[in-house]
Amino acid sequence: MNPTSVAIVTGSSRGIGLEIARALGRKGHALLLVARDATALASAQQELEREGLRAATCAVDLRDASCADTVLQRARDAFGEPDVLVNNAGTAPTAKFEATTDAMLDETFALHVKAPLALARAVLPGMRQRGRGCIVQLASTAGLRAFPFTSAYTAAKHAMVGLTRALATELQGTDLRAYAVCPGFVDTEITRSAAAAIAARGKLTKDQAMQKMAEQNVIRRMHTPAEVAATVARLVAERPLGCTFVMDRDPPAFLD
């Protein structure tokens, strides 16, 4: 790996995104952390810098796809042209199908489809010119199959996987790579919030709701953020052929 490689990681102020940034930083990448909350980003930056990693921040609202050029310019100003883009930022609303609103659908598509498209569109010309680059979309098994009460999320993740497959097809025959990484349920703050919402309905406790979600994974347990981060870091380092990488199987493998 080029020791001056620059990685943009969205949704990296906490959770999976922060763990991905940490894993890539330990591999020698300079990191641009992207999220909405400037205070949370500053805390994440300090945490990584205490480990001796190089990090800068960019506080933007990715629901506005027009900020892609701002993100790219911030990466250039901080470290140089990006070689890696990880689209991790997202949201996971839960509701019955008939209670799924246009606003839920708009927000999930903005974060899981429109922002990744805009950011990839921004970084690709430079990657093509330099003849190297890797774009990773943090998708989900919800992009491959359906789960109840997640209509907006499932639709958006299916779109994200399709978007990545289309890009990977266009990149065939080059040294550029595009991956859709598909874990099942991951033990994150978002997942625990969903479990709390289920518990509030009174039928299950929060712990029982977490267990029910874990049992929906093929591997019968939840993934950890560190597991997901290690998978992303390995794909970025090794650049294997393939596109849709399914973590929720034993062993994890590409579908295509």
User: Which residue out of 153, 179, 185, 245 is catalytically annotated?
Assistant: 153
pLDDT band at 4 (very low <50, low <70, confident <90, very high): low
Contact 25, 54 (CB under 8 A): yes
Q: Is the pLDDT of residue 1 over 70?
A: no
Residue at 12 is within a domain: yes
Residue at 62 is within a domain: yes
How many distinct structural domains can be found in the chain? 1
CATH number at residue 126: 3.40.50.720
Q: Is 179 a catalytic residue?
A: no
Q: Is the pLDDT of residue 68 over 70?
A: yes
Question: What does pTM read for this prediction?
Answer: 0.94
Residue at 141 is within a domain: yes
Q: Is the pLDDT of residue 2 over 70?
A: no
Task: DSSP letter for 201, please.
Answer: T
- Cα–Cα distance, 12 to 199 (Å, whole number): 28
Q: Is the pLDDT of residue 223 over 50?
A: yes
Enclosing domain of residue 66: 6-184+223-247
Residues with Cβ within 8 Å of residue 213, at least 6 apart in sequence:
185, 191, 194, 195, 222
pLDDT band at 147 (very low <50, low <70, confident <90, very high): confident
Q: In this predicted model, what pLDDT tens digit does every residue of 38-56 receive, in sequence order?
A: 999 999 999 999 999 999 9
Residue at 86 is within a domain: yes
Residues 20-30, mean pLDDT to the nearest whole number: 98
Q: Mean pLDDT score of the chain, rounded to an integer? A: 95
Residue at 212 is within a domain: no
Q: In this predicted model, what pLDDT tens digit does every residue of 94-130 receive, in sequence order?
A: 889 999 999 999 999 999 999 999 999 999 999 999 9
What SS3 state is found at 185? coil
Residue at 165 is within a domain: yes
Count other Cβ atoms within 10 Å, centred on residue 63: 16
Q: Supply the pLDDT for residue 3.
A: 47
Residues with Cβ within 8 Å of residue 133, at least 6 apart in sequence:
82, 83, 84, 85, 123, 124, 126, 127, 176, 177
Residue at 198 is within a domain: no
Residue at 190 is within a domain: no
Q: Please, what's the b/e burial string for 179-194 (b: 16 or more CB within 10 A of its CB; e: otherwise)?
A: bbbbbbbbbbeebeeb
Beta strands in 11-71 (DSSP E): 30-35, 55-59
Cα R_g (the chain), whole angstroms: 17
pLDDT band at 23 (very low <50, low <70, confident <90, very high): very high
Lowest mean pLDDT among 108-122, 156-170, 183-197: 183-197
pLDDT band at 189 (very low <50, low <70, confident <90, very high): confident
Q: Supply the pLDDT for residue 196.
A: 86
Percent of the chain scored above 90 by pLDDT?
A: 86
